[in-house]
């Protein structure tokens, strides 16, 4: 076959192959156009998940009559003027490809009324043929109607998923765009049913509730961080979900750059890392984050649907996000530290607090007379060294002294309930008993505490591992009788070897073993007899993917969390009172957080008021 220039229709269809994958991607282009046109209201109407019908109406600037045919030409755009513009793109669109591409694979109709015109003008496209412009009454703005998407490319139509899948993709896409633009009103309906209704608002939380569901209202908090990355001013802004809003997939991490929705594995990883301490394994937080950055520092022209971007300084952004989020999460309203400072009275209606006081007084005097702490286990015996040692070996618990060695990391005891004498919270509680050989039951006259002994132990082990990994002192390790060989990619092996010093402080003795292989000679004592290959492989992956010191530290922390997780004996275990007290003492000896390293809560508090409400003594 001789070489020929392709006819325009085929060129457009080829472009459509990249830009328009499914109804949601066509919708994305149309809604982005509306946003670029400054719309404040965007209405979407779908038929069969967008497969049969997709209508987007906006109240934006509109297109002047004589430019409408041009909007449907390839590479025709009002958003770029010079090559320089391409390097600092501030609009969502810029390629001038979307409309002709969509029109080449659908029955297409555009009606637009620009400012200053008193009537709208309509143009239709079918099978590549454009109709003449016809006048039509229309409100100011633009309405694009796409029906029978892929009707003329049956192979592509076959690849579409079920109506409901395509529909949910569309709803998700619109929700994503809506999330960072509370002042713009969005709605999406199909067959008269409203699937997304997000009226304009000044309150980002209202918007989050409209997009993510009502549960977001009490569980999501605004977040703002301004600073620098790689010497450039940047701003992270958005909403952080509490641990109540965990999701099973990473799709709950909404990332934006200059309000453009993007996917970015590295930044999503930073979010995961920052949340690690409150996360349950294999769960994802709900987070919406918008990065404001000089457009010249982002290349948005690397992906056909513009859903991925390239940063000039990705490592610096990773670091800044991690730092910003970690700080914010420490202060988050759901963190036990923040909650305890609010105090119990504040949570009670005013007229009840007097009664609350009386009850507390009565309780205090009762306690003074004869300790109700008796429970099953009687008084509060001291910690017998022999019993503590037994507990250590049975539970592989680290000694309190060792755990608290670098009191540097905070020292702040984050405990449920009001602030108490530092470092003396858990050991100061009365032990009531053990429930189901898995939970410790404690009280202090103001509240009842349920402590998950496994989670607590895991936390203690984690903190002490982390402390030694980040400090100078080494810790006990267990030589392997037969050294284990890990086969990794060269890059991963290298990153593991680079971190060898810190890993050694955790108790790992690693050596080079030819290209891509690592010899494991010793492992942390807590891990003896347990498989370590997976653990180290994961750590190697984390380390190689996210070099940089901060990220490397996170990888080490993650490794500590996994070691702790594997180092804890599971299943019900009867503890003697001495063993239980030893555990409580250990909990006080570390900078305690109320969650295990994988995010399960360690301790739960039931205040007297909570219990009274439970029994309907108060309303
Ligand atoms: P791009 O968005 O990359 O410029 P498109 O093919 O999506 O390319 O659109 C072409 C042009 O049509 C845009 O540059 C814009 O001037 C105009 N346009 C498209 N949709 C709208 C709209 N909803 N409101 C106003 N103008 C629009
Ligand atoms: Mg566009």
How far is Cα 162 from Cα 167, in angstroms, rounded to an integer?
8
Residue 79 near ligand 1, beta carbon < 6 Å: yes
Q: Beta strand 253-257 with 185-190: parallel, antiparallel or unpaired?
A: unpaired
Contact 523, 478 (CB under 8 A): yes
Residue 16 near ligand 1, beta carbon < 6 Å: no
Nearest to 258 by CA among 220, 303, 210, 311: 311
How far is Cα 33 from Cα 92, in angstroms, rounded to an integer?
7
Q: In sequence order, which residues have a C-beta less than 8 Å from that of residue 79 and are 6 or more positions away?
A: 36, 85, 89, 91, 93, 94, 96
Q: How far is the CA of 609 from the centre of ligand 2 (A)?
A: 57
Contact 537, 489 (CB under 8 A): no
| pLDDT, position 563 | 79
Residue 34 near ligand 1, beta carbon < 6 Å: yes
Contacts 24+ apart (CB under 8 A), 86-93: 86/301, 87/296, 88/294, 88/295, 88/296, 89/295, 89/300, 89/301, 90/258, 90/295, 91/36, 92/32, 92/33, 92/35, 92/36, 92/260, 92/306, 93/29, 93/32, 93/33, 93/36
Nearest CA to ligand 1 atom 8: 96
| pLDDT, position 280 | 66
- Give pLDDT tens digits for 348-378: 333 334 333 433 443 333 233 333 222 222 2
Residue 306 near ligand 1, beta carbon < 6 Å: no
Q: What are phi and psi of 465, to 5 degrees?
A: -65, -45
How far is Cα 328 from Cα 320, in angstroms, rounded to an integer?
12
| pLDDT, position 596 | 53
Q: Beta strand 253-257 with 53-58: parallel, antiparallel or unpaired?
A: unpaired
Q: In sequence order, which residues have a C-beta less than 8 Å from that of residue 156 and are 6 or more positions away?
A: 17, 105, 150
Q: In sequence order, which residues have a C-beta less than 8 Å from that of residue 108 and are 6 or more positions away?
A: 99, 102, 124, 125, 126, 144, 145, 146
Q: In sequence order, which residues have a C-beta less than 8 Å from that of residue 451 and are 6 or more positions away?
A: 426, 439, 440, 441, 442, 584, 587, 602, 603, 604
Q: In sequence order, which residues have a C-beta less than 8 Å from that of residue 541 and are 6 or more positions away?
A: 492
- Give pLDDT tens digits for 261-308: 999 988 998 898 888 777 766 678 999 999 999 999 999 988 888 889
| pLDDT, position 409 | 24
Q: How far is the CA of 289 from the centre of ligand 1 (A)?
A: 27
Nearest CA to ligand 1 atom 14: 77
Residues of the chain short of pLDDT 50, as ranges, are 340-421
Q: How far is the CA of 78 from the centre of ligand 1 (A)?
A: 7
> For 302-331, b where at least 16 C-beta lie within 10 A, e where not — what string?
eeeebeebebebbbbbbbbbbbbbbebbbe
Give the ranges where 343-489 is alpha helix by DSSP (H). 344-347, 350-369, 385-395, 400-404, 453-470
How far is Cα 609 from Cα 347, in angstroms, rounded to an integer?
9
Residue 37 near ligand 1, beta carbon < 6 Å: yes
- Nearest atom in ligand 1 to 62's CA: 25
Dihedral sign of CA atoms 291, 295, 297, 300 in order: positive
- Nearest atom in ligand 1 to 98's CA: 6
Residue 91 near ligand 1, beta carbon < 6 Å: no
Nearest CA to ligand 1 atom 18: 33
| pLDDT, position 552 | 67
The DSSP result for 257-315, as a single string, is ETTEEE--HHHHHHHHHHHGGGPPTT-B--EEEEEE--GGGEE-TTSTTS---EESSHH
């Amino acid at each position: 076959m001789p070489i020929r220039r392709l006819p325009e229709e085929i060129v457009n269809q080829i472009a459509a192959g990249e830009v328009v994958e499914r109804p949601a991607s066509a919708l994305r282009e149309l809604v982005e156009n509306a946003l670029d046109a400054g719309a404040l209201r965007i209405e979407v109407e779908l038929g069969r998940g967008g497969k049969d019908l997709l209508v987007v109406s906006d109240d934006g600037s509109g297109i002047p009559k004589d430019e409408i045919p041009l909007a449907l030409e390839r590479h025709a755009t009002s958003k770029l003027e010079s090559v320089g513009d391409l390097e600092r793109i501030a609009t969502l669109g810029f390629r001038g490809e979307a409309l002709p591409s969509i029109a080449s694979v659908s029955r297409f109709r555009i009606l637009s009324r620009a400012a200053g015109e008193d009537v709208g003008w309509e143009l239709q496209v079918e099978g590549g043929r454009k109709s003449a412009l016809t006048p039509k009454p229309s409100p100011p703005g633009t309405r694009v109607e796409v029906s029978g998407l892929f009707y003329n490319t049956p192979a592509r139509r076959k690849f579409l998923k079920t109506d409901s899948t395509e529909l949910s993709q569309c709803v998700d896409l619109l929700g994503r765009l809506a999330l960072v633009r509370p002042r713009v009103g969005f709605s999406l309906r199909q067959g008269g049913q409203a699937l997304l209704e997000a009226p304009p608002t000044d309150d980002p939380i209202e918007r989050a509730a409209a997009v993510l569901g009502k549960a977001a209202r009490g569980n999501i908090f605004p977040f703002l961080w301004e600073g620098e990355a790689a010497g450039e001013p940047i701003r992270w802004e958005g909403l952080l979900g509490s641990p109540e809003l965990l999701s099973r997939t990473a799709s709950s991490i909404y990332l934006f750059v200059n309000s453009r929705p993007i996917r970015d594995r590295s930044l999503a990883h930073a979010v995961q890392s920052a949340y690690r301490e409150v996360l349950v394994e294999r769960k994802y937080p709900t987070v919406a984050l918008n990065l404001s950055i000089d457009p010249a520092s982002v290349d948005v022209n690397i992906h056909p649907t513009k859903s991925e971007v390239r940063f000039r300084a990705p490592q610096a952004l990773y670091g800044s996000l991690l730092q910003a989020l970690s700080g914010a999460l420490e202060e988050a309203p759901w963190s036990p530290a923040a909650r305890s400072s609010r105090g119990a009275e504040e949570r009670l209606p005013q007229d009840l607090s007097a009664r609350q006081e009386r009850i507390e007084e009565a309780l205090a005097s009762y306690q003074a007379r004869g300790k109700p702490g008796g429970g099953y286990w009687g008084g509060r015996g001291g910690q017998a060294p022999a019993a503590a040692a037994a507990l250590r070996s049975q539970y592989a618990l680290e000694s309190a002294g060792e755990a608290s060695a670098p009191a540097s990391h905070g020292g702040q005891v984050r405990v449920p309930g009001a602030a108490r004498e530092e470092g003396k919270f858990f050991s100061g509680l009365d032990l009531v008993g053990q429930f189901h050989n898995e939970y410790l039951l404690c009280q202090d006259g103001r509240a009842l505490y349920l402590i998950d002994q496994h989670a607590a132990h895991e936390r203690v082990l984690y903190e002490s591992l982390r402390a030694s990994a980040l400090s100078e002192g080494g810790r006990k390790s267990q030589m392997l009788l037969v050294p284990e060989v890990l086969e990794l990619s060269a890059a991963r092996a290298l990153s593991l070897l680079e971190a060898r010093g810190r890993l050694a402080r955790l108790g790992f003795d690693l050596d080079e073993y030819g290209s891509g292989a690592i010899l494991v000679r010793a492992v942390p004592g807590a891990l003896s007899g347990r498989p370590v290959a997976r653990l180290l492989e994961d750590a190697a992956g984390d380390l190689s993917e996210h070099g940089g010191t901060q990220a490397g530290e996170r990888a080490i922390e993650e490794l500590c969390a996994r070691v702790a997780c594997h180092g804890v004996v599971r299943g019900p275990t009867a503890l003697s009172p001495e063993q239980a007290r030893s555990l409580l003492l250990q909990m006080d000896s570390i900078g305690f957080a109320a969650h295990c390293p994988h995010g399960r809560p360690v301790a739960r508090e039931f205040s007297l008021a909570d219990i009274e409400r439970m029994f309907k003594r108060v309303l």
